[in-house]
Structure 1
Amino acid sequence: MKVVKFGGSSLADATQFEKIIHIIQQDQERRAIVVSAPGTRFKGDIKVTDLLIQYSEAVKKRAAVADLQAEIIARYQNIAEHFNVPAAVMDHIQAVIQGLATQTYPDYAHQLATFKAHGEYLNAYLLSQILVKLELPTQFMDPKEIGFNVAGPVNDAHVTDDTYDHLATYRDNPDYMVFPGFFGINEADGTIATFSRGGSDITGSIVAKGLHAEVYENFTDVNAIYSVDPHIVSQPKGIQTMTYREMRELSYAGFSVFHDEALLPAIDAQIPINVKNTNQPDLPGTLIVPEKGFKPKGFITGVASSKGFSALYLHRYLLNKEVGFTLKLLQILYKYGISYEHMPSGIDDLTIIFDNKQLTPQKVKAMCTDIRNELHPDQLEWIDHYAIIMIVGEGMQLSPNTIEKIIRPLTDHNINIHMINEGASKISIMLGTDEADAQKSVKLIYQHFFDNNRIFNY
């Protein structure tokens, strides 16, 4: 069995629906289908999820909602009319959309989650009815009816273990099964709760694990996962095969195909993930596989950068001899509710890298004051506009001079490297640079390893 997930751009209109139906029918193993809400159809268009958010806000303000309701209904109506589905299908969709405004909710967070989730819910329902109209035996997998249970915050839920048991009962179901992505049912109170970023990808990964799929196919609007951001390097090379941990490392550093946590259920079940293009489905895409038995074909697999960081550099002579120094430092961070991303260190110094999302100027000033007063560093420097660059590749662990190869193109162009940190697995190296140098650094590393078919001996 294959689980296939289609993103919003793959489901934006009737033409895209035609494509995904063709993809489903091409392979009889594609029996479980996970769908997102309809995405944008053209530049300047609005995603259905964003329309539902506007709808929810209007209801909260007790503003007029008839126009928003009509706009949302029209998105589904245009698809339904193309396939000439029975009128009862659209009657149901219209009633559900209008009914959202009349329900009662425990609070606004629950209301917003419910509104947003219905983009996926109604798209899955509509696709199931289209497949039935095409005389393909199909079941709409309503999360409440199949026991797709979640727990945790209403907008950051996590799947419960019993969901996998419920899904496993459908493993031998011969029909097509259409699942709405992005949400589940809170088993504590029966309300809708959504996953965080990449919600439909998370659902696809959960369904793949629950059904014990052989492959999880994730259809997007790109031909493959690329070795570098196409916005930085034009026409970059696609990655044919990569490992789970390579994908995780690159996702953290800015690769946007997946929210990295979306892969975890499939990784746990050791299910290969194939990223493919809905618009060119015959292309092989990128296959993400377990590390065991993987043989790298090159030195590095990809390079990515991420901005929005700051760093604290701290130097103190004989720092490594002082028992409890790091504990005291972490207690200060805890006092201000600040987590750190990385803490590379030497015998007399260390660098702490922070995500700026959790910082304020007041917090930074107070934290640095406490560090000076309690730890008495010889030097303390706060570095703003910090960027991290991640270079990832299973082949890197085979080379005795990995770091030299990677930093060479940067030092040749006088780029200041603030930090070098190699992971224990030896498949990734993180560099710290100024934000202003980040994109140039990525370009130089990519050109050094990928242009002109450059090959290195291990």
Structure 2
Amino acid sequence: MKVSKFGGSSLADGNQLQRVFDIVASDIDRKIIVVSAPGKRFNDDIKVTDLLLKYAEATINDVNTITIIESIKERYHSIAEYFNLPQESLIDLDEQIAHLSQRHYRSFDYLYAAFAAHGEYLNAQLVAKIFTHLGMPSRFVDPKEIGLLVDNNARSATFDSSSYASIATLDLSTNERLIIPGFFGYTKNGDMATFSRGGSDITGSIMARGLDADLYENFTDVSAIYAVNPKIISNPQSIKQMTYDEMRELSYAGFAVFHDEAIIPAIQGGIRINIKNTNDPSAPGTFIVPPTEVQNTTPVTGIANSNRFAALYLHRYLLNKEVGFTLRILEILKRHNISYEHMPSGIDDLTIIFDKTSLSQQQIDNMLADISAEIKPDTLKWLPSYGIIMIVGEGMRNRIGALTEIVTPLKENGISLQMVNQGASEISIMLGIQPDLADNAVKAIYNNIFKV
């Protein structure tokens, strides 16, 4: 049995949904279908989720919502019309959209979560109706029905693993395809709460583990995961197979194909993952598997980079001799509810790297003030934009000369580094670099390692 998840670009309009239908109909093992909300149909289009968030904002501010409601309805109606689905079949969806602004919510966060979740919630209902209309019996399954529980963090929910027992009882004995909305679950109070970015990937991974699937297929708009961002290198090498840990490292550092958190349930369940292209379903795609299943390990699997980071640089003589120094820093971060990504250090220096998308300016200002007052460093600098490059590969484990192959092309191209750090797993090397140099650095490293 396979769990197949389709992203927003795969469900943007009727033509795309026809492709999805053909893919699902071609394999009876594709039993569980997890869907996102309809995405962009063209460059300047608006995702349905973004329309719903505008609807939420208008509701909170008591602004007339008629126009935005009609825009949301139109997206679903246009898909239905492509398949000649009777208009009366959409009455319940229209009522749900209108009713969103009339319900009571425990907080504005829960309001935003419920509105956003309805992109997937409504689309799953529509997909089930259309598939059945086309002759493939399908049933919408509300995450509430299978007990998919999350914590009370309304807009960045964490899955409650006790839900696996309930998910495992889902009846798969019928000939129906089961259509499940991604991106959200329910709190114990019955409120909708959404996962963070890429949340439909998380739902798919949860369902695959909960049902002990043979394979988790993640359909997107690319035919494979590539060794480097195609926007930086034209026609880069595709990755046929990679390990869970390689995917985690690369997703974290910039690979946008797969949410770095989404892979965790699959890892825990030992479920193989196949990234495939909705528009080219015959392409083999990329398999993500346990390390024991990888064949023909190459020195480097992929190179990722991201500029979403910021860094704090601290210098103080003999900090390595001061017992509890790092603990004092961590206590300040805890006080201001700040998590950090990495903390490379030397005998007199310490750099703390943060995901700046999770920080407010107030948190930054308060943290810097407290470190300055309590730690009294000789030098304290805040670097608001800090580039990270991650070179990842199982073949780097115990490989002599791996760092040389990475650093030498940078030296030859006159590119300096701010930080070099190898993970304890030995499958990744992280470079800190000025953001404006990152793309050229990636090109230099890729061309040397892959011998372009």
TMscore range, shorter length: over 0.9
Q: Which runs of 5+ in 2 are unaligned?
A: none
Residue aligned with 2:341, SS = coil
Residue equivalent to 2:372: 369
Aligned mates of 1:346, 1:114 — CA distance in 2: 47
Aligned mates of 1:383, 1:67 — CA distance in 2: 43
Residues 1:249 and 2:249 aligned together: yes
* 8 Å CA contact retained: 1:315, 1:380: no
Aligned mates of 2:99, 2:403 — CA distance in 1: 59
Instruction: Note closer, same or farther for the CA distance 1:344–1:233 as it changes in structure 2 (3 Å cut).
Output: same
**Cα displacement (A) at 1:238:** 1.4
Task: Kindly provide the CA deviation profile for residues 32-59 of structure 1, in whole angstroms up to 9, marking residues without a partner as x.
Answer: 0000111111121111111111112222
Deviates more, 1:166-175 or 1:9-18: 166-175
Matched residue type, 1:257: V
State TM-score, norm by structure 2. Answer: 0.93
Residue equivalent to 1:55: 55
Residue aligned with 2:238, SS = coil
Task: Kindly provide the CA deviation profile for residues 11-41 of structure 1, in whole angstroms up to 9, marking residues without a partner as x.
Answer: 0111011100000011111010000111111
Aligned mates of 1:338, 1:328 — CA distance in 2: 14
Instruction: Note closer, same or farther for the CA distance 1:118–1:325 as it changes in structure 2 (3 Å cut).
Output: closer
Matched residue type, 2:369: A
Residue equivalent to 2:226: 226
Deviates more, 1:200-209 or 1:295-304: 295-304
**Cα displacement (A) at 1:428:** 0.2
Task: Kindly provide the CA deviation profile for residues 353-386 of structure 1, in whole angstroms up to 9, marking residues without a partner as x.
Answer: 233342646346424523653xx65x65555532
Residue equivalent to 2:269: 269
Aligned mates of 2:207, 2:332 — CA distance in 1: 42
Residues 1:46 and 2:49 aligned together: no
Instruction: Compute the RMSD of aligned alpha carbons.
Output: 2.0
Aligned mates of 2:193, 2:242 — CA distance in 1: 32
Deviates more, 1:140-149 or 1:223-232: 140-149
Residue equivalent to 1:235: 235
Residue equivalent to 1:113: 113
Deviates more, 1:99-108 or 1:340-349: 340-349
Aligned mates of 1:109, 1:346 — CA distance in 2: 42
Aligned mates of 1:366, 1:292 — CA distance in 2: 48
Residue aligned with 1:158, SS = coil
Deviates more, 1:40-49 or 1:142-151: 142-151
Aligned mates of 2:328, 2:113 — CA distance in 1: 41
Task: Kindly provide the CA deviation profile for residues 185-218 of structure 1, in whole angstroms up to 9, marking residues without a partner as x.
Answer: 212x112111111111111111111111011000
Instruction: Note closer, same or farther for the CA distance 1:147–1:306 as it changes in structure 2 (3 Å cut).
Output: same
Residue aligned with 1:159, SS = coil
Residue equivalent to 1:22: 22
Residue equivalent to 1:5: 5
Residues 1:176 and 2:192 aligned together: no
Aligned mates of 1:328, 1:87 — CA distance in 2: 63
* 8 Å CA contact retained: 2:38, 2:123: yes
Instruction: Note closer, same or farther for the CA distance 1:167–1:310 as it changes in structure 2 (3 Å cut).
Output: same
* 8 Å CA contact retained: 1:313, 1:383: no
Aligned mates of 2:134, 2:336 — CA distance in 1: 59
Q: How does 1:5-404 map to 2 (within 5 A)?
A: 5-170=5-170, 172-174=172-174, 175-187=176-188, 189-307=189-307, 308-317=309-318, 319-357=319-357, 358=359, 360=361, 362-363=365-366, 365-370=368-373, 373=376, 377=378, 382-383=382-383, 385-404=385-404
Task: Kindly provide the CA deviation profile for residues 54-77 of structure 1, in whole angstroms up to 9, marking residues without a partner as x.
Answer: 112222222222222222111111
Aligned mates of 2:337, 2:136 — CA distance in 1: 54
Task: Kindly provide the CA deviation profile for residues 132-169 of structure 1, in whole angstroms up to 9, marking residues without a partner as x.
Answer: 11232222111222322222211122222342122212
**Cα displacement (A) at 1:446:** 0.9
Matched residue type, 1:352: I
Task: Kindly provide the CA deviation profile for residues 312-349 of structure 1, in whole angstroms up to 9, marking residues without a partner as x.
Answer: 142524x4443323223333444454433212233444
Instruction: Note closer, same or farther for the CA distance 1:229–1:106 as it changes in structure 2 (3 Å cut).
Output: same
Residue aligned with 1:232, SS = coil
Deviates more, 1:273-282 or 1:433-442: 433-442
* 8 Å CA contact retained: 1:197, 1:259: yes
Aligned mates of 1:297, 1:437 — CA distance in 2: 29
* 8 Å CA contact retained: 1:333, 1:367: no
Instruction: Note closer, same or farther for the CA distance 1:153–1:440 as it changes in structure 2 (3 Å cut).
Output: same
Aligned mates of 1:402, 1:288 — CA distance in 2: 23
**Cα displacement (A) at 1:233:** 1.5
Deviates more, 1:135-144 or 1:234-243: 135-144
* 8 Å CA contact retained: 2:300, 2:449: yes
Q: How does 1:370-449 map to 2 (within 5 A)?
A: 370=373, 373=376, 377=378, 382-383=382-383, 385-449=385-449
Number of residue equivalences = 447
Instruction: Note closer, same or farther for the CA distance 1:277–1:380 as it changes in structure 2 (3 Å cut).
Output: same
Aligned mates of 1:294, 1:213 — CA distance in 2: 20
Deviates more, 1:211-220 or 1:144-153: 144-153
* 8 Å CA contact retained: 2:332, 2:371: no
